[in-house]
Amino acid sequence: MSAVQNESRKRSKKRYVSGHQGKRWKGSRELELGMLGILITCNMNERKCTAEAFNLLNEYADKLFGPEKLQDSKGSSSSSEEEEGEEEDVDVALKKEVAQLQSSGGKRERRFQALDSGANNVIFIRTQNLEPDKLVHHILSDLHTTKKKKSRVILRMLPVTGTCKAFQEDMLKYLTTFLEPWFKTPNSATYQIAFKARNSSHNKREEIIKSIAGLVGKLNPKNKVDLTNPELTIIVEVIKAVCCVSVVKDYTLYRKYNVQEVMKEDAPKPDAAKMKTDPNAAEQEDEHNGGEAGKEEEKKVAEDEKTEAQNEEKVDKGEDDGE
């Protein structure tokens, strides 16, 4: 009899645990198609990264767009109270965010919301009623000028100004229209493509880069690949089934939009000859300009990719591009 009761208790416990977990995931908010925002990478501390992101984004959004105003029953009018200091406790900062979301009655979403990105060490901050690319560029520009250390765990801040399904045909169809403001005749620019895939096995880096480079070439033959100092960078970040895209300026100047690197003192410019061995040069210039990569460049692809990925090694630890 005791054995039967024991088995019954185990079953009840399993039902409770599975039901509890189901409710938890059902209620979680994730990155989805149609969202705009900012992808932020960090080093194994997503909670602290989220708190730092709210403080940093609100500080500069207030300067650029003015204080946030919430019209709710309790009369909240600004989010400036969140920026009490960089040393503010992480739990306190996150509890404030939740409390203010609840006080708004859920009818009006705040300008910054932290969502699950779908990848480890990457958070997604959804933005409302502002331009994420303009905000991120403003932050990096100020940090690059002042060299003030305003973050400890945030690594890269990548704006997301468009999303589509993470299949090659869908990506090319979406980008055909999305890229027109920058690259369609009469507009033209020098450019590079920064592609990254997380938890996605069906996208091959080389194929995607060549396809996008070919598309840009069709929009205007005057568009040229430049990996040394491009005018524009096309950022393509794939996470699971969502492709996040944006076109940004000063990607090289602001160290691939790496906050920690931007805050460091400027280092001597890298040798242009070494930059030419970048694997993207072979992939993008061959497709766009009609040439073929030399054998020497092909042999150096693996070595150069390791060099480029040094700043992101910790971010991608335990998480391969093809998984």
Instruction: Convert the pLDDT of each residue in 97-139 to its tens digit.
Output: 666 666 555 456 789 999 999 999 999 999 999 999 999 999 9
Question: Tokens in use for 301?
Answer: 């692809």
Q: What are phi and psi of 239, to 5 degrees?
A: -130, 115
Q: Which of 70-106 are b and which e, b meaning 16 or more Cβ less than 10 Å from the residue's Cβ? A: beeeeebeebeebbeeeebeeeebbebbeebeeebee
**Cα–Cα distance measured from residue 294 to residue 111, given in angstroms and rounded to the nearest whole number:** 49
Q: What percent of the chain is predicted at pLDDT more than 70?
A: 63
Residue type present at position 83 = E
Enumerate helices (H) and strands (E) in the chain, giving the number of each: 12, 9
Q: Does residue 38 contact residue 57 with C-beta atoms inside 8 Å?
A: yes
CATH superfamily of 161-312: THUMP superfamily (3.30.2300.10)
Is 48 a residue whose pLDDT tops 60? Answer: yes
pLDDT, averaged across the chain: 79
Predicted confidence at residue 202, as pLDDT, reads 87
pTM of the complete model: 0.70
Alpha helices in the chain (DSSP H): 2-26, 46-65, 90-103, 132-146, 168-178, 180-183, 205-219, 259-262, 272-275, 279-289, 295-299, 301-308
pLDDT tens digit sequence for 229-268: 999 999 999 999 999 999 999 999 999 999 999 999 875 6
**Cα–Cα distance measured from residue 86 to residue 244, given in angstroms and rounded to the nearest whole number:** 29
- Structural domain spans, the chain: 37-157, 161-312
Q: Which residue has tokens 């990719």? A: 305
Average pLDDT over residues 73-84: 45
Q: Give the model's confidence band at 313: pLDDT under 50 very low, under 70 low, under 90 confident, else very high.
A: low
Is 33 a residue whose pLDDT tops 80? Answer: yes
Higher-pLDDT residue of 206, 278: 206
**Cα–Cα distance measured from residue 12 to residue 306, given in angstroms and rounded to the nearest whole number:** 50
